[in-house]
Amino acid sequence: MKRDSIATATTLSEALPYLQRYDGAIVVIKFGGHAMSDDASFANFARDVVLMKQCNVHPVVVHGGGPAINEMLEKLDIKSEFVRGKRVTDEATMEVVEMVLAGRINKKIAHALNMEGGKAVGLTGKDANLIICEQADPAMGLVGKPTKINPEVLTTFINSDLIPVVAPIGMDHDGNTYNINGDTVAGAIAAALNADRLLLLTDVAGVKDASGNVLTEITAEQVRALTQDGTIAGGMIPKTETALDAINDGVRAVVILDGRAPHAVLLELFTEHGAGSLIRA
């Protein structure tokens, strides 16, 4: 018997307790960063998510798409106003956001999952009133924050062989459409579903200490302390804030991990050492 075959069989055997641990569990995955633009990473992600569903782990995929939105705005020569370094979402910009997120990226992810043998369904927060939101900051225009998640449509998919893929677009009670941060949507959906895990895929290996070492496991209290002393800074702050909010609202644990790493999701769920930084209460 070939050594590679034995190694593969050994790996599968060692995964058994983790497969049992997550049997029937809901795992919300925020898909974003470089992995969305790299063909190999994209294909690996799709295959891994389909494998999860085949193993009776129930993935819910939430995605972003900032770079693709910026690219389309430039192509259409739509000028943007910026407030505190962030793009204001006016009505013209919102039309492009919805077109790119719901019509292009969302369907691309669903198609990739289907090509790997899954049964993915793409939707936005406007479908079945999934995400009700309000304006986050009048100065930012049509940028929203979730006020209520109605997860019934997701529960229907979870209880079947379908994999939901959610674009971070919501609406308020007056029917106005809003663009919402993808991490925020993933955290809110994870909380509404009482998910076992929220996985935030990004372009860094995880939360690092003052020496630059990745912290494989960290408590919410430690996250607050590292933020206060400036160790957690920049783009990691909104991700850890999302993690803390999700944990506070009932998600068992949140993992921040590098989506560029091959099979990062499987490594996190089905191996002893995991991947990235696990944050728990």
Q: What is the pTM of this model?
A: 0.93
- Are 243 and 187 in contact, with CB atoms under 8 Å apart? yes
Q: What angle do CA 100, 188, 94 make, to 5 degrees?
A: 25
Question: What average pLDDT does the chain have?
Answer: 91
Domains delineated in the chain: 21-280 (3.40.1160.10)
pLDDT in tens, 82-100: 777 678 899 999 999 999 9
- Please check the confidence at residue 258 and state whether its pLDDT lies above 70: yes
**Between 28 and 264, residue with greater pLDDT:** 28
For 155-191, the pLDDT digits (tens) are 999 999 999 999 999 999 999 999 999 999 999 999 9
Question: Judging by beta carbons within 10 Å of its beta carbon (0-12, 13-18, 19+), is residue 261 exposed, middle or buried?
Answer: middle
Q: Give the CA radius of gyration of the chain.
A: 19
